[in-house]
Each structure stands twice: as structure tokens, then as C-alpha cells.
Structure 1
Amino acid sequence: MSKTVTVIDTFGFFFRSFYALPQYLKTKDGFPTGLLTGFTNFIATLQKEHDSDYIIFAVDSKGETFRNEIDENYKANRQAPPPELTQQLPIAIEWINKMGYKTLGKVGFEADDVIATLVKCAKEKGYRVRIVSHDKDLCQLIDDDNVTLVDAIKKKVINERACYDKYGVTPEQFIDYQSILGDSADNVPGVKGIGKVGAEKLLKEYGTLDNIYAHIDEIKGATQKKLIESREAAYMSKELVTLHPDVFSCDEVDFEEYRMDVENPFLNIYDELVQYEQNAILRTLHAKNMVSDEKKAAAVKKTQDAGKVTEYINSEYTATLLTDRDELFKVLNSFEKDAFVAFDTETTGLDYDKDKLVGFSFCVDESEAYYVPFRHFYLGVPEQISEDDAKEAMRKIFEFKVVGHNIKFDLHFVTRFLGVEELPIACDSMILAWLINPESALSLDKLAKALLNHEMIAFKDTVKKGESFASVELDDACMYASEDALITFKLYKLFLQKLELQNAKHLIQEAQNVEIPFISTLLCMERKGIEVDVNFLEDFLVEVKKTLESLTKSIYELSGSEFNINSTKQLGVVLFETLGLPVGKKTKTGYSTDEKVLNSLKDKHPVVPKLLEYREVYKLYSTYIEPLLKLASENEYHRIHTSFVQTGTATGRLSSKNPNLQNIPTRTPLGAKIREAFVAGEGKKLIGIDYSQIELRLLAHFSQDKVLVDAFMHDKDIHLQTAIILFGEEEAPSKRNIAKTVNFGLLYGMGQKKLSDTLGITTKEAKEIIEKYFESFPTVKSYFRSIVDSSKEKGYIETLLGRRRYFDYERATPMYKAAYERESVNSVFQGSAADLIKLSMNKIHATIKEESMQAVMLLQIHDELIFEVDAAKADAYGKRFREIMEGIMQLNIPLKASLNIGDKWSQLK
């Protein structure tokens, strides 16, 4: 088997490492250490990653090279490197030699020429070569698979195929490719005006630079002119970019001098590792008992006030990296049995179906937090915890009282990793933050800044663009991840205190009894997803596109011009300048063409109704049909998985995102048709159970209005009863819908203007209806007033379960005060309805699990729950679930729910 030579483009590697690592890595004295950290990590795993026989660090020489004789402007415009880099470079170069490795360079030549020479000499001996570099100039040396490039940061091997895929040319063509393209960083001129695409196209057709110029007469137009004008520059560029493989004679190179197997290289620089706080390497050395106590003590003494060499010291806490199994379990076994453990995960992305866990962090007090890596992947990554040990450690952690921040996200990854359905959790600091103030920003970094005056390490400063957390150096990962666990722990403790200070200790109980179990309920719903009929959606998409084409044609004909219908600016010009329609309102960017404006113009021109119809259909196409089809097609089982946001609204109602399945339209036939695409799986049925008039029932419960209570106790049609009271027996049937609008509208704080717009009546008529309503339901009016008065007196309202929404009347403008009055009433009913359905969902989820039912809860659409169940048991399960919903809480009036069973979502109404 042939031997392998690893050649390091030393300065290129150092520069790449420096810019790849966060710049906050420094010693306690402020000396930058990012480059040194990257280098020591690289050395730590050289043998494991490269399995090489020889290693040579190729270096640039000081001063000018032969290329400056070819062109005095070569590399003339390069900026000086930042001082943080130049401070570390000489130390790293010195370390190479101190550790027992060797550098190789020659005056007048660049490292790239040294590398080219080493490649030539190694190939003569039949050795394989790996070049550790990110420099594209070295692509010309690739020779499958004798010579390959290795990107040390991205851990990618670049062979001929990879070179062609990236640049569109072969390694043999790379010199000519660069001769045309040039390199602005090195002042290589190239052919002015021809870029990557042009260079690639020319070389694909003609093969070489010489052949391009041999056929210059065949090349037409501007490309020919550019080539002719830059001929001299192109050939000078070729001289500049061509690497010289004869820096020295191959007889001068004794590869045996560069053997890879240096024994314990870090022991030779141990004092400096301590001085520059290379803690990850020090931990490994100490864990393997490679350093005597005397040597440790001497190093610490030499480096004054070094602090703990096995930990990162932060002014507020200690962040400890755990990469040894025994050390990890020693820490876990030291926790008290009933300890609260703040827990957080790091992953390769946000999609729990596709992405993976990388590591996890935890802490049990405010002085120390830990990070456990097990799937970091980059060149030079040190030893990590094995996946089996990571699983065992996580199981151990979940024996304690686990607290997270938005822990549903973490649970998706951890349950999948451990192969379990659910895990017990004690609390979620995000839930507590929401209970304290449901309208505050809930992200960890914003809460830390607002409440702890702590600026957290930013994700974007830790993970490079285009990469994942797996490529983050362990030292940086430890700082970032440990901080997440620590801040979660601090906020959890702080929120418990705040709830007590707000005299809202009952919300701690509400969180434990309702909100925290609800996380598990939602987790299972999200994991299951709902099946979509892809063929139906594909046909529907074709239908909708045809409808859009037809509407577009009509709009062009009616308006007398063709324009971008989706452009507000162009539409405004057509409506208000070309057609001369009355201008409603103008914005800073032009005419307003929102729905309200268009509705006011419906009778002014026949194009306007078409525009409204186009907008509705286009929204269906772009917002629902096309995205849903894409999501369903990408899933193996054609199931769509939405994410439910427990803390997304101030009232407590769930919201849904990615995609939002709660806003699937139902008002128009075309919109309602989308629900036909959501189907039951094979051998299954869908069940829909919808609370009937839940907010009006809550109004009757709270207000104890005799008319409302009587109607619900005797199962009367509440809207018809309201219509009778407002309009009399004779007109009531025809005006039931008006009564329905009034019943619900007043709960949502609807005033006379909104009611008049909704019903298409005058404001005077709307005012009379509202006055008549409150005359007929005097208890309702006084109850509404009591809510507003209480919200002003206390500064908050409470729902059925005691959740609060706060209103700052004292600092509010008159407009905001009026809004607060409406919202205080609305929040009581919407919030209490949310409480009831949440209780029902938890109870049903627990019942399904306890009784091993062949059923899953799929969706919550406000007051409706949708299930997928075994077809043979649909009737029995439906009745059982409805009973739970109707009996979830004893109110002064009965709760009612409607039950529907079908094969499609559209059949559940």
C-alpha cells in the first residue's frame, strides 16, 4: 500500500482558521487565541483524521518572490492582516517546531510552489498526497486520486469531480481558467470583462487558452474584443498563476525527516498551552494522566493567576466542557435526587425530521454550566462523548426535574434520539415568561438582556454562514451552549420569584398542571402530522392556475392595459390615473390598493370585482396550494407537520406555523375546497369535534344573564333567541345572521362602525341595534363594564384558569385606552375558551395513552379538535372524546360539542 504525505498550506490554514473562529476567544488578559485554538484542535486529531505517514508544513518566505519580477503589482493591494492574527502567527509557527514537526520553505517562492514541488517529488516515489488548504490556486495540482485537496474547516475532500462540479473546469484546465478569470485579491489581471461563466464556456468549447487564441476569429462579438484587448494580460496572468514544481531538487527532500508519528507533541508546549488557556487540549492531557502534578504546578506558577486550566472562566460562571465519560457521570451522579436541571440542546438545524443533535448543555446552579459534545464534525475535532454515552447521560438527566426554554423544540430531537415517545419535564422558562407577561419578547437572548442585563453570545457569531453547529470548535460550542443552560436556569429561578411578587403564585400551579403537560400533547400532534392527497392538490393547482389566467385576461380587457396585477404601484396607476377612479388614500410609496380601498370601489368599475376575486384566488395559490403541495411531496408519507406555538398569542389561543393550518380559508367554495386535500390514512377516519358557541356559553356562565342561561339550559338556538328579542318573532328567522354577528361581535369589542361595515347598514342602525341589545341583556352590559373597571383597577384581567393579561392604562393614549377596554373583555372570553380546549386536549391525550387507543390528535383549529382514528372504532372514539370535551369543567351552563366523522377534513362540518 502506497504511503501518504499530508502537506499543510500553513499560512493559508492559519488565515482560514482565524476567520472561521469567533473572535471573542481570548485569554483572561485579553490575548486573542482563536487561531491557536483552531491549530491545537487540528493537531489533536491529525493521526485520526489523516492516517498519514508524513506531514510537512509548507510556509511562505519573507520578501518578494519571482512573481514580483513578472509583475511588480502582484499582491500589491493586499491589506495588512488584523493585529489579532499577526499576534498569534509567530506563536503557532514556533509551536510547529517545538512539537516536533517541521516547516519547509524557500526564499523567493511562495508556499504554493513548495507544495507543487512536494507533490511532484511524492508522485515520483509513488506516494499519495493530501493538501490541507482552501486555496483554489492548488486545484491545478489535483490528480485523482493521487493528489487531493482537503478543506480543513468544512472537512471536504476536493478531487477532480468536486473541482469540476464547483468550477466547471478540470484540474488540467485550472491554470488557463485562472488566466482568463484573474484574481483581484492577488492583482492578477486576467481578461477584463470575462467572468466565471464566460471563462468556463470558452474552456468547454476550446479546451485551452492557446486554443482559444488559435480560434479567435471564430469567437464573435464583445467576447472576441475582450480577448484580443487582454491577450498580453491573459498570458502574463498564466505566468503568475502557474505553480513552479522545481523549488528544489527531489533529491533534497527526505520524507523520512517529516514522519507523522511525533510522540505526545503537546507535552513539549505544555507551559504555553496553560499560558494561552488551551483548555480543551489540557483537559485531554489531564484525563489521560499524561502530565505530572509537578509539571502542572510549575506551569500554573509560571503563568500567574492562570485560574482553572480545565475550565473556561467567565466573570459570572464557569463553562465546563465534558468530553470524558467518567467525568460526565461523576458530575451527573453528584446532583441531588430532586435537583432542577436546566437543559438545552445544540442541533444541525431546526427540522427535527432531517437535522440531528450535536450536543447538549445543562446546569444545576448559577456558578457552573456544562456542555457535552458528541457529533461535532470538523478537521481536528478532539475526542467527544460517544453517542451511546450521550444517550445514557440524557436518560440520567431526565430522571431529575428538567427545565428548558422552549423545550418542545429540544424534546423533538431528544425523544427521536432516545427512541421514546415522551419524556418528563418539570418546567419551561419560556412558558413562565409568557404567564408573567404574555405580550413580552420571549426569546432567551432578549429576556437575558431585559431582565439580567446580560448580552448573550450570538448564534451568528458562533456558527459561520452556510455551516451548522457541528462545525463549531468545541471550545466555542462550550461557551455558547453552556450559556444557554445557565441563562435558562437563572430565568427559571427569577420567574418563580416574579410570580410570587405579582401575587400570582397560582400560575406556577397552572403551569405545572396545564401548560407543561400541554407541551407533551403538542409534541405528539406535531410529530404525527396530517396526511395530504397530493394528486388532488396537483389537479387543484392546475384548476386554480387556469382560473388565474382567465381572471388576468378579463382584468386586462376591462382595464384596457396589461400590467403586473400583483404590483401595488402599477395597479394604483391603472385604477386612479388610467381609469380615473376616486382616490381613497395614499401611502408614502403611492396609491393604496388594499382590500378596504378595493371594496369601496366595487360599484365604480367592473374591473374592481375581478381584482378582488383575483387576489383571493392568487392568495389561495401562493399561500396555500403551492406550499402545501411542496411540503406534502417532500414527505415520504405525504404528511404535513405544522408547529403549534403555545405562547404565540396574548389571549392563550394556540397559533400554528410552518405551515399555518389554522387559517385554511373556508368562506368561499374555492377556499373551502383546500380542506378536501387533507385526508385520513388507509384504514382510518378523521373525527372533528367542535365546541358549540363556547364563548357565548362562557358569557352566560360569567354574567349569569337570565335570558342567556335559559337559552343554553334548554338547548335553544341562541342566535334565534337574540333575533326574537332584537327584531320580534316575525322578523327573527330572516335576521338570525344579524343576531349572530351581534352576539359574537360584542364579545370581540365590535363598535357601531365595525358593525355597520360588517352588516352593510348605516352607523345609526348599528348604534340602535347595539343599544337594543344591551337594553335586552342588561346583565351582559354590566358584566362587560365590570371587566373593564377591574382591568383598570388591577391592571389585568384573568381567564377561567387565572391566566392574566396586563393593560397599562396609566401610560396609554386615549386611543390605546379604548383599545384596552375592548381587549380586556375579549381576552376574558377568548382566554377562557383557550383554557377549556387546552384542558380537553390534555385529558384526551392522556386517555389515548392510558387506554392504548388506536387514535391520534392531529390538529386544533381554535374551538375544534381533529383526530385520526381506526375506522372501525371511529364512532366509539368520537363519542368518548366528545364526552371528555363536554365534561371537562362544570360550568353554570352545559358545554356542547358537535361531532363529525369523515374521510376528508372537508367532511367534518
Structure 2
Amino acid sequence: MPKLILIDGSSYLYRAFHALPPLSNALGEPTGALFGVVNMLRATLKAKPDYLAFVSDAPGPTFRDALYDQYKANRPPMPDDLRAQVEPMLAIVGALGFPILRVPGVEADDVIGTLAMQAQALSIEVLVSTSDKDMAQLVGPHVTLINTMSNTVMDRAGVIEKFGVRPDQIIDFLTLTGDTVDNVPGVPKCGPKTAAKWLAEYPTLDEVIANADKIGGKIGESLREALPRLPLSRELVTIKTDVPLDVAPTDLTQRAADTEQLRALYSRYEFKAALKDLDAGTSASGSDFSRDASAPDSPESIAAEAAPTNPPEFSAPGEYELVTTQPAFEAWLEQLRHAALIAFDTETTSIDAMRADIVGISFAVEPGKACYIPLGHDYPGAPQQLDRDAVLHALKPIFEDPARPKLGQHAKYDINILSLYGIVVQGLRHDSMLESYVWNATATRHDMDSLAKKYLGYETIKYEQVAGKGAKQISFSQVDLDTACRYAAEDADITLRLHHALWPKLESAPALRKVYEEIEIPLVPVLAAMEQRGVLIDGDVLRRQSQQLGKRMLELQQQAHAVAGHEFNLDSPKQLQAVLFDELGLQAKLKTPTGQPSTNEEALEAIADTHELPRLILDYRSLAKLRSTYTDKLSGIVNPRTGRVHTSYHQGSVATGRISSSDPNLQNIPVRTEEGRRIRQAFIAPPGWKVLAADYSQIELRIMAHLSGDEGLLRAFREGGDVHRATAAEVFGVPPEQISTNQRRAAKAINFGLMYGMSAFGLARQLGVDRGEASDYMGRYFSRYPGVRAFMEATRERAHRDGYVETIFGRRLYLENLTSRNQGLRQGAERAAVNAPMQGSAADIIKRAMIAVAAWLKDRDDTHMLMQVHDELVFEVRADAVDAVRAGVVERMSGAAELAVPLLVDVGVGANWDEAH
């Protein structure tokens, strides 16, 4: 059958705008959405349809606006950056030779619906290229939806799978659920599952309406109350299929492309791949995008062809080999010895690398082909497997050869697993998780499943699919070998495919490539070694602290009961609401999503100055958290193999580049309270050793001085005095030696607050002064440090222009909501834009310091790096080496960056972490 592709231009323009980073060309013109749409259009032409059209909304109202004046009333106006890309998009579409349809009075959906029905009647197969769920009502024997953004195809079975109803029930389904985006009223509280359930029992909306009195509960009441509105809602969600058109489906053929106009447009908007294709097509055939006879025959093949950035080999099924014989293993060993890059992955019995046993290992050396070597599957009747120790012994020289490049996905975990078997992995060249993280930290999560879907258009096998979930989940060692092979070999294969998709992106951005190659990748073995070493804990100290915390919590509980006049459960939000807001009559400053007065930490802080009870509750919760998270927990997670506590450090979780810590989170132990500091007393050194803590002094303020180039701030740091006292002297016009404690505290709040984008209102609340006084402080600060204001304004402008800001070393920090119509969201993004270069640069500096210190310590056995906590590094040092190590650590930490001001490092030494401060 001949094929017609109908492109929902409006849908894809919005999808591309929100899905892609905010790109711009050298002229500063926004190009992100345009880039996404152009890629989709070029891919559509490569699918070689017989007929095609680009359908877009025409300006002006439609018949739906006349039916219902609140239709789409909640939609914000089109963002300026998106509006600027509409005309260039239409120019490129026209130059490509696409028929463009924009019909006044109706929406693009209606034009597409009309053409789809006409084409179906002519026995033309229709593919609607859209991401709009409303289009599912058009699906039929010869009408299929394709979403080239996610590389998915939706036929009748796909509609049923996604919505739980047939295509012919979609109109009724949408009528019941309503549409908050288009402001179509449905049945309140009726979600997709409820609507599908009703339509399963009563196959049409009319039958649901007729049987409304049989539906019980509050949802039944909602249905009956909504009955008068449902006919209007049905009319609003129904796509018209009888729009009068000047063209028929068979008129929609591609015109000859205007290659000169395309070249001018592609050059202006810097679409290099499109230019390359254009030149290749012109030189090869004399006309761009010439047709041939090899057009694909199915919707699935067209969807694969139309994927904007995914070559077919990225999303095709792989060929995987289960290796259980010595000859097969020898053959793979030979491949590994000659591979340009080895992708590897381990399967284990636990996600805790320091407590896991290896179950198997997988390799890939070319995309689409991989193997799985089972080593520890022990279910009843499991086939014979190769000897684990013999396999690992044979692989050890390959893993430990730094000249053999290796690739992993979150490779640190696999490095830690192999370390338990005496293998020290060397030659890690790439990590697909970190490639994605450096390319764009906020574009997606960086786990394999998310990356495969985003960058390959590939749906991976999920762990729950092979091992089950919840209480019935089995260990991977219990999974049968064939299933295990499909899952495990896919991991290695997809890791390699991701590298082939992501590495070219980093190669195209030299600064990002440098961040990746010089910071993130060298840091992996450093963090792995820290995790393997762990930290020594004194369980007796923690137990005593737990008892003391419990005693203090009981005292606070009794004080709270006395203040309230009766006993109540401090851990019950419901009882807290009753006491605080009903009995005491305090005014709630924050509400829960359901509209109830909130009792979370932020809400209690907001009312803590109006009554003593909120502060008592906050103090009680603080101690309860310390007890449950640390003093009660840490002793119980000491590793029996090592006698130490092992945290996990994460490189790919914080957008600014900061390292985070979990299980346990050693970076979240409070240092501003006595109880929090005392917990650090339990972090000890073994006999004959000391704990050494090295902490950057005011690093983010120093970075601000460097980036802003403000002479006053630079002078304050270069003179080596107290920068907060110097700021107080500037702001209050008082000689430094006469600055009071309160004035220094105010200056410190200003220094750090402005760097984090704090408003006058926030500063006033922090200092306990009125807003006018806080505003006056800020005005004086900026008048004394004009370079800081200029830097902040320039940074905001760059963020709006580029969609991201950069650290000193070139790491990009993308920011959402910079163009949001919501003032609060937009201002929040602007505050983040100002702060991110400081936070991100500080993160890069301490990572560089860790790499330098680790390289220096490589051949020493008297020192181990144990922890990284924000701007601090913690070491275990043999007592006789403290002086030498102190000097070496300071030298390398202070030399981790060349700033316009000195990088100062404070060092402390003690028998425990607290003493080291």
C-alpha cells in the first residue's frame, strides 16, 4: 500500500523545545526546538513516503474556543524563545519541499484527522507522526501513530496497552478523564484507570451516563455531578474528520527541495549534520533526498528510520552468547586481547559492592554482540559452569593492563566487585554514565535504562523482569542461565552502544571532553579506593550517644507536653496540626498538597518565632534524625569482612558536579550543633594512626572573587585577613577592628546569601531585621563590591542566552525554567544560575585535588584517603607521617586551581574526626 506521513508540527515543536537543551547559534538566536524538528523532518524524508504533509496550527481562534470560552485558558503564552523558532521552522519545511497545511478555524489535529480518514478510504496506509495522546482516537486498520522522539509505534494493540481501552473508545475515555492542559472539564477524580474500568463495564460514554446511578462512592457522586458537562467535553476532545480542504491525500507529494535556501538556513542555524547530508545528496544525485526503491514496508521500519538521532544499529536486538565451555571462553579471551575497547559488567548477589559475591561477568567488544560468563548460578539443576577462580585468574592480566582501554556503566561498582577477588582494574578509559552526566547533567537520569531509552531509543530488560520484585524477588544467582545471559550480556552491549552515541557529543565540545577526561574518569578509581578502605567506627561511643540522645528527646517531649497542656504524639503530623493550629491558634504559613496546614521542617521554621512549641518540635526531630540515621544505625552496618563502614560516593547525581554520599550519607552529619559534632567522635583512627582533616577555607567566596574580578573582594582575600570582617567594614563604614560580633555575622550572611541569590526578604529573616534594613545592607554591599553585581547580572544574561552556565573548567550547568512564565520558577532558575558556577567550580577543584593527592599517595602505605565531605578531605595517617602528609596534602589541594586569590587549606589532626577540627 502507498504510505502517507502526516506530521503534527505543533506537537513536535513543543516537544523538541522542552526535550532538548536551550541551544543557540552564533547570532544568539534560539535553535534548540528547530534543531529537533529539523532532524525529525530529515529522518522522515529518509523513510521515503509516497505522500507527506507538515500540519501546523493556524493563528487565531478555533471552533472549540467558540464552544467553550475557557478552552486552553490555563495554557501559558508561547515562550518567546519558542515563538522565535516558528518562522524559521516553516521556512525550512518549505525549502525541504514539504506541503504545509495551516487551516484557520480548526486545529492541526482536525486537519490530520480529516486527511487520515480520507487516505484510509483510498487504501493508503497512514502514519501520524505525533506525541499527542488525543490522536489515539484515529488509530485504525490503516492508521498508525509514530512518535519519533521516543521511537515508538502505536497501533490498535498499542492503544489498548497504553490506555486500557480500544481506539474507538478513546473519545469517551478522554471525555471522562478531562484534560488539564487544554482545560477540558472531565469527571473530577476520574483518572485513566477509573475511566478504563467504566468503559470495560459500559462500553460507551452514553452507557456510562445511563448507568451513572449504579456507580457508588464519592467517584460516583463526582460522575453524576459532571453529567451536564460531559456532552461539551466530548465535543471538545473529538477530532473533526470532515474539515473542508483544498487538497486530497494524493495531492500531498514532495516538491523539489530548494537546496540553496536550505544551505543558507542550515548555515545560519549551524546545523552541521544537515549541511553534510545536503552536500552529500547534491553531489551524489544532483537533487537532494532523491527517492529509491528500497522504502520500508512496515510502520515499525518507518519509525526506526524516522528516529531523529538513533542509527538503526543502536536500537536493534543484539546477538548474545552464553559462555559455559572452555573453548568458548578461550575464543572470547582472544577477542578481548585484540579489542580496541572492552565493555564489561558484573552480576552479583547484592547492590552493596562490599558485601556482594560475583555471579557472572559480561563483555562486549562491538555493538550488538556480547557474551555472558556465568560463575555462580546455584539454583537446583543449574548447568555446569566454568570455574570462577580459573576464569578470574585468566581475566586478571587483561583487567590489570592499563594499555587495554576499558568501558563500564557506573564502572566504580564493578571495579569494587573485582577488587574483592584480587583484581585491580586499570585502564578505565570510559564510563557511559559519566559521558551522559558531563554532556548534560539534567537531561535525564544516568542509569542504563534511562540512557538507553533517551540516546538509543532502546527498551532494556529490567532487573524485575528476570528476578521478580518485592518479597518474591530472587537473587541473580537463582536466575536461569538463558535468561541471565539475555539480561547480563545486554548490559555490556548497551554500555558499548551508549558510548558510541555519547562519545561523539563530547568530542564535539572540547571543554566538556576535558572535564570528562581530566576530572571525572580519573576520579573513578580514587573514589573506588576510598569506598574499599572504609572508615573505622567506635561502636561503644555511638551506643553512649544514642542513650544520651534518647534522654534529651524525652526531656524535649515532656517540655512540649507541658507547653501544650497535655500529652500528644510529637511524631504524628495529624496530632501536631491539631495542637498547633486548632488548639494554640497559630497561623499556618505552608499547606500540604491536600490543603492541610503543613508540619514539615520548613513550615515549623516559618512559625518558630511566634511560639515556643514549634522550636521544641524542631529540636526533637533533629535529635531523632541523628539517632535513627547515625548513632543507632552506623554500628549495625559495619562490614563483617573489613570491620569498617563503607559509604557509596556518587558522581552522577548532583547537577553542579558535587559528589554525594549514601548508605550511609557521611556528608549530612550536622556540624553546627553540639550533638552533630559529637557523632564525629565515633569516626576514629586505628592504634598508631591519626585522623587528618583538610578543609578549603571559604572556597566559594574565593571563586566569586576570581570570577567577578571585584577589586574590593580580591583585596580582602589577598591581604589574608577575615573576609567577613572586611565586608562588614565596607558595608557598615566602620574600621575592621571596631566591627562587632553582630556586624560580622550580618556580613557573613550577606557574603554567602548573595552568592546563593538570597533576596532582601530572605536576608531580613535570617538576620532578624526588617526588610528595609536588609535591603539597605545589600545596597551598600553592591556599592562597595560593584564587580560582584556586574558578574551576577552578566551571568544571568549568559544563562538566558545559552540556557546554561559554566564552571571555571568548562563544565556546563543547564538550567530549567529560565523562560518560565511562573515568576517564582524563573527567579529560582536565575538564582541557581548565579550560584552554580561557584558550586560547580568548587566541586571541580576538590575533585582535581583528590586526583592529585591520590596520585601522590599511590606508592605510600602510611596514608589512606577515607572521606570527601563537601569542601573537606579526611585521611587516615600513620602517626609518624603526619607532618609530611599534612604538607603534601596542603600543597596539592591549594594547587588544584589557579585563582586570582590564594586557595587556603585548614588542616587538623586528632584521634578522631571531631578532634581533627
User: Same fold judged by TM-score > 0.5?
Assistant: yes
**2-structure distance, mates of 1:451, 1:485:** 16
SS in 1 for 2:428: coil
**Are the structure 2 counterparts of residues 775 and 810 from structure 1 closer, same or farther at C-alpha, using a change threshold of 3 Å?**
closer
**Are the structure 2 counterparts of residues 684 and 336 from structure 1 closer, same or farther at C-alpha, using a change threshold of 3 Å?**
closer
**2-structure distance, mates of 1:636, 1:332:** 31
Match of 1:455 among 448, 456, 459: 459
- Conserved? CA contact 1:792–1:809, under 8 Å: no
**1-structure distance, mates of 2:794, 2:553:** 51
Residue type of the alignment partner of 1:359? G
Matched, 1:872 2:877: no
- Residue equivalent to 1:66: none
Q: 1:713-737 CA distances to partner (integer Å, 9 max, x unpaired)?
A: 2212211111000012255343111
**1-structure distance, mates of 2:785, 2:858:** 44
Aligned ranges 1:103-502 → 2 under 5 Å: 316-335=317-336, 337=338, 339-398=340-399, 399=401, 400-417=404-421, 419-439=422-442, 440-464=444-468, 465-500=472-507
- Residue equivalent to 1:709: 714
- Conserved? CA contact 2:407–2:496, under 8 Å: yes
**Are the structure 2 counterparts of residues 327 and 625 from structure 1 closer, same or farther at C-alpha, using a change threshold of 3 Å?**
same
Which structure has the greater CA radius of gyration? 1
Superposed displacement of residue 636, structure 1: 6.1
Aligned ranges 1:623-772 → 2 under 5 Å: 623-632=629-638, 635=640, 638-729=643-734, 732-734=739-741, 735-772=743-780
SS in 1 for 2:906: strand
Q: 1:611-654 CA distances to partner (integer Å, 9 max, x unpaired)?
A: 2321222222222221123224x646542111111112111111
Superposed displacement of residue 561, structure 1: 2.2
**Are the structure 2 counterparts of residues 738 and 382 from structure 1 closer, same or farther at C-alpha, using a change threshold of 3 Å?**
same
- Residue equivalent to 2:820: 812
**1-structure distance, mates of 2:620, 2:816:** 42
- Residue equivalent to 1:785: 793
- Residue equivalent to 1:858: 866
**Are the structure 2 counterparts of residues 743 and 812 from structure 1 closer, same or farther at C-alpha, using a change threshold of 3 Å?**
same
**1-structure distance, mates of 2:571, 2:817:** 41
**2-structure distance, mates of 1:723, 1:661:** 34
- Residue equivalent to 1:895: 903
Q: How many residues align?
A: 591
- Residue equivalent to 2:844: 835
- Conserved? CA contact 1:572–1:591, under 8 Å: yes
Q: 1:231-251 CA distances to partner (integer Å, 9 max, x unpaired)?
A: xxxxxxxxxxxxxxxxxxxxx
**Are the structure 2 counterparts of residues 541 and 638 from structure 1 closer, same or farther at C-alpha, using a change threshold of 3 Å?**
farther
Match of 1:555 among 557, 560, 582: 560
Residue type of the alignment partner of 1:816? L
Matched-pair identity in %? 37
**Are the structure 2 counterparts of residues 557 and 397 from structure 1 closer, same or farther at C-alpha, using a change threshold of 3 Å?**
same
- Residue equivalent to 1:799: 807
Superposed displacement of residue 609, structure 1: 3.3
- Residue equivalent to 2:617: 611
Matched, 1:846 2:855: yes
- Residue equivalent to 2:522: 517
Residue type of the alignment partner of 1:790? R
Residue type of the alignment partner of 1:455? E
Residue type of the alignment partner of 2:763? L
Superposed displacement of residue 816, structure 1: 2.7
Residue type of the alignment partner of 1:489? L
SS in 2 for 1:470: helix
**Are the structure 2 counterparts of residues 637 and 331 from structure 1 closer, same or farther at C-alpha, using a change threshold of 3 Å?**
closer
SS in 2 for 1:892: coil
Residue type of the alignment partner of 1:706? E
Q: 1:544-567 CA distances to partner (integer Å, 9 max, x unpaired)?
A: 111122222222232222222101
**2-structure distance, mates of 1:367, 1:584:** 56
- Conserved? CA contact 1:748–1:825, under 8 Å: yes
Superposed displacement of residue 749, structure 1: 1.3
- Conserved? CA contact 1:332–1:396, under 8 Å: no
Aligned ranges 1:544-583 → 2 under 5 Å: 544-583=549-588
**2-structure distance, mates of 1:776, 1:697:** 17
SS in 1 for 2:839: helix
Residue type of the alignment partner of 2:480? E
- Conserved? CA contact 2:418–2:424, under 8 Å: no
**Are the structure 2 counterparts of residues 597 and 335 from structure 1 closer, same or farther at C-alpha, using a change threshold of 3 Å?**
closer
Residue type of the alignment partner of 2:572? S
The TM-score, its normalising length taken from structure 1, stands at 0.63
**2-structure distance, mates of 1:847, 1:565:** 51
Identify unmatched segments of 5+ residues in structure 1: 1-313
**1-structure distance, mates of 2:395, 2:834:** 45
- Conserved? CA contact 2:818–2:830, under 8 Å: no
**2-structure distance, mates of 1:551, 1:415:** 47
- Residue equivalent to 1:239: none
SS in 1 for 2:426: coil
**1-structure distance, mates of 2:335, 2:603:** 67
- Conserved? CA contact 1:363–1:489, under 8 Å: yes
- Residue equivalent to 2:168: none
- Conserved? CA contact 1:463–1:472, under 8 Å: yes
Superposed displacement of residue 779, structure 1: 1.2
The TM-score, its normalising length taken from structure 2, stands at 0.62
Superposed displacement of residue 710, structure 1: 1.6
**2-structure distance, mates of 1:811, 1:603:** 36
Identify unmatched segments of 5+ residues in structure 2: 1-314
Q: 1:341-398 CA distances to partner (integer Å, 9 max, x unpaired)?
A: 1111111111233221111111111231111111111122112121133213432542
- Conserved? CA contact 1:690–1:865, under 8 Å: yes
- Residue equivalent to 1:247: none
- Residue equivalent to 1:530: 535
**2-structure distance, mates of 1:469, 1:559:** 53
Aligned ranges 1:7-156 → 2 under 5 Å: none
Residue type of the alignment partner of 2:895? G
Residue type of the alignment partner of 1:375? G
- Residue equivalent to 2:300: none
- Conserved? CA contact 2:320–2:372, under 8 Å: yes
Residue type of the alignment partner of 1:625? T
**1-structure distance, mates of 2:632, 2:711:** 50
**Are the structure 2 counterparts of residues 780 and 635 from structure 1 closer, same or farther at C-alpha, using a change threshold of 3 Å?**
same
**Are the structure 2 counterparts of residues 818 and 533 from structure 1 closer, same or farther at C-alpha, using a change threshold of 3 Å?**
same
Superposed displacement of residue 315, structure 1: 5.6
**2-structure distance, mates of 1:350, 1:530:** 19
Residue type of the alignment partner of 1:668? T
**2-structure distance, mates of 1:604, 1:434:** 45
**1-structure distance, mates of 2:766, 2:425:** 46
**2-structure distance, mates of 1:637, 1:396:** 26
SS in 1 for 2:914: helix
Superposed displacement of residue 755, structure 1: 1.0
**1-structure distance, mates of 2:543, 2:601:** 29
